[in-house]
Chains A and B, each alone.
Chain A
Amino acid sequence: MSFARYLGIRIFNALLVLAFVTFVVSILFVKVAEDDARTRIAEIINGEARNPAILRLKASDPEAFEKWKRNREEQLRREFELDKPFWERVISKTKNTLLLDFGNARSPVFGEIKVSKIIEKAIPRTVLLFTTAQIIITFIGLLLGIKAAQKAGKAVDKVLSVLAMLTASLPMWWVGMVFILIFAFQLGIFPASSLPNPNLEGIQYYRDLLWRMMLPLVTVVFVSFGGWAYTTRNIMITTMHEDFITVARAKGVPERKVIYGHALRAASPPIVTNVIIGLLGSLGGAIITEAVFNWPGMGRLYWVALQQSEVNLLMGVTYVTVALFLASMIIADVIYGYLDPRVRVGR
């Protein structure tokens, strides 16, 4: 099977998964929305019943009042699409979601009311924060991991292992809270809220953004780099035990080139896959970390959606996160294939 064909199948698979997940989630969503709509309808009718005209009607002609109530209910049910059969609503929700039509939020977020627009604003911010963090983490992780692998069993290596174990046990979002306590409250170096100031323009805006991004960035890097370095170390140690490393040394290849050439290059496919899988694994923690810092990305949307029961928004962010997640898995595959000739040519 050629790699292109393999990739095609992978993408097709991912789309299938996405469609299926959307369908299942739509079932849940329609149920939640139904309960939601019922309470809303009851609220609206109760509100209107307090109207003096209606009150008078109720007093003079109770039967007419009942009739008005029934009519109104019918009308509202149609408005909320409760009159359609359950499965029809599920299918239409699935279809709309797949086509990125998530409906409107009840109150505007980031100045937008359409859910797809809100998410459109949030994605670049999330990507900005976590790509930057990931680049830093990968860089530090590689350097430290290679150092530790070279000195396996020595002090550097042991410190790294302990560090990795300690930081792996910390919830990222909690570290965020502690960092706010230390750097925002105690020392006052960084702002507690990372919501950028919308009144600034040009270079000023970006400087403000960077300044506000610092604390969440440091949090993500602090929690993740140890585990990273440890993964790199393990992969590197396995690679360094390979025969071809001994051969390279025997050939008189300088040690630096052996490590950063032969070993690192051979270890790069699993390292990259692990980087991406790890990135996806930290997605959950990252979402909450954003919420802690008020960073206006996808995580913040989750928080808002949950706090204000924005069902449409929640559905939208979930769909987009799953889609991004699946896309990243495919990207991991592509990079792996690019780096490992064994996959590139055929498998």
Chain B
Amino acid sequence: MRLEDVRESVKDFAHEFRYQKGGIIGLILLIILVSAAVLAPQITSPDVAKRWSKEFWVENPPNVPPTWINYFSSKKLAPHQVYSINDLEILDGGDGEKILRIVYESNYDVPPKDIVLQGFKVSSHDVKNKPRMTVVLKRPDGLEVKLIEDRMISSNTVIQIATNTEVKNNVFKWSKEVSDIELKPVEEIKLQALMDTMKILFGKIDENIFKQPTPLHGKYVLEIRIKTVDDGDVLDLSGFSVIFSGRTFGLMGTDSKGRDIWAGLVWGTRVSLAVGIAVAVLSVLIGIVYGVASAYFGGWKDETMQRFNEFMFSLPVLPILILLGAYFKGHVDLFQIVLLLVLFGWVGVAKVARSMALQIKEQTFVEAARALGAGSGRIVFKHIMPQIMPYAFSQMALSVPYAVMTEAALSFLGLGDPTAVTWGQMLYDAQNAGATINGYWWWVVPPGLAIALVGLAFVLLGVALDRILNPRMRTL
């Protein structure tokens, strides 16, 4: 084929493609998916892949739904919010005192799960005389709660307001005072043990304050006062942050390890596309070479190759893959997965390629070429291959969903690459954590939809390619 012909046929193809609505949708989907895969570090954060399988994501609340569910539910849940030092208002209280302020607008019916203060860095020479911190919450109803009073802080201090005993005592005492509720001592102990600090802090002061606080909406101010007593002390707050641990998180919520599901989804695109495309391209190429070679050799070689092909065809793929996966002890890396899938992927293509090659071989113009003294290589590359390539392209696209789904299935059975971020693995984790019976839909639905989306994109593309490149299909 001359270059000009190639350009011409590409132009023809592009022209025809415009009329394939499905194909265009598929192409758009594919572009989105590829962009997600390429830009994963920019869209989320670059360390996702490294952190994914190794640790709990302690900075995130586990098992919370995405933030946008607030649009659909009457009960508004506080989202996850992180305030770094730059987000805080810093005032000088005089006398070596620093005041850090956060204005928190709460319109939520369920307050944050927790407020975590962390990232102090203190160097002092007197162990008994470290900087001291007082934390106060000013509420929209004008009341003020002293959560922590004059607590010494050191470099590893982490304060979790919801579970801190000092805070709990302070809040209980305060709420008893302001609400004027008479409590018997026995009752008091029980209530104090059961009370939800956060709900009281963000609740209306009335008779229900202990048992069922009504949420109080409005502007809250969290004030952190830190006083350096010793002149030689150095207080470094550059790493300081306040986390309002949410009842909801980000675009897609979190899983039981606090991992951001959105990040997993975006990063999962990489593995899915890489495995899918690699498997499809490799198996179709191998299949075509095998099929054409078989048809071209003929005779006993063809017979032997066909026997082997039939043998492969008569094997159930997944059970064998499962066994092979188990042979690798469930630590199949991505490269091995690709090899395993290719091992079974080429069989069908080889069958069709062989029969196509046989048909082409019989065509008059090929016989004419042979009569004119064209060599076998020339016949294969000049006549057989160009006619099989259209089939190959559409077949590649149509093989991707199969590869993606099988990869996901293996991962789901725990036979994937445990260090990679894959959708199958996410679903495996979800299954093991009982996500379905606990109703963690945000953990179950998106990875499957993502798999389906990849499948759909390639099916649409494949069908469109097939219609354009193999015109006899058009009547169907």
Contact = CB atoms under 8 A, between A and B. Distances in A.
Q: Do chains A and B touch in the complex (CB under 8 A)?
A: yes
Interface of A: 14, 17, 20-21, 25, 28, 31-32, 165-166, 168-171, 173-175, 177-178, 180-181, 184-186, 192, 234, 237-238, 241, 280, 283-285, 287-288, 291-292, 302-303, 305-307, 311, 314-315, 317-318, 321-322, 325-326, 329
B415 A31 contact: no
B459 A302 contact: no
Contact of B476 (A175, A177, A181, A237): A237
A181 B460 contact: no
A23 B298 CA distance: 30
Contacts of A192: 436-437
B476 A234 contact: yes
A166 B438 CA distance: 27
**Which of A31, A169, A237, A325 counts the most chain B CB atoms within 10 A?**
A169
B330 to A, nearest CB: 8
Interface string B319-349: 1101110110110000000000000000000
B426 to A, nearest CB: 11
A17 B311 contact: yes
Interface of B: 22, 311, 314-320, 322-324, 326-327, 329-330, 401, 405-406, 408-409, 412-415, 427, 430-431, 435-439, 441, 444-445, 447-448, 451-456, 459-460, 463, 475-476
A306 B410 CA distance: 11
Contacts of B329: 32
B318 A287 contact: yes
If over half of B's interface residues share one DSSP class (helix, strand or loop), that class is named, otherwise mixed; here it is: helix
B302 to A, nearest CB: 18
Given A169-B401, A173-B409, A322 B451 contact: no
B326 A169 contact: no
Contact of B327 (A32, A171, A283, A317): A32
A307 B377 CA distance: 52
A192 to B, nearest CB: 5
A185 B439 CA distance: 6
A186 B437 CA distance: 9
B71 to A, nearest CB: 19
A26 B165 CA distance: 61
A284 B326 contact: no
Contacts of B476: 234, 237-238
7 contacts: A169-B453, A171-B448, A237-B476, A284-B316, A284-B319, A322-B320, A325-B314
A306 B413 contact: yes
B327 to A, nearest CB: 5
B323 A285 contact: no
B427 A174 contact: yes
B318 A303 contact: no
B448 A170 contact: yes
Contacts of A28: 323-324, 327
A303 to B, nearest CB: 7
Contacts of A170: 448, 451-452, 455
A43 B140 CA distance: 64
* 10 nearest CB pairs, A to B: A284-B318, A169-B455, A174-B448, A180-B436, A325-B316, A169-B456, A321-B319, A185-B439, A169-B452, A28-B327
Contacts of A291: 413
A169 B319 CA distance: 21
Contact of B406 (A21, A32, A168, A284): A284
A284 B415 CA distance: 14
Contacts of A177: 427, 430-431, 435-436, 444, 448
Contacts of B459: 165, 168-169
Contacts of B314: 14, 17, 325-326, 329
A177 B412 CA distance: 12
Given A302-B413, A311-B326, A322-B319, 6 more contacts: A171-B452, A177-B435, A284-B409, A285-B318, A321-B316, A322-B315
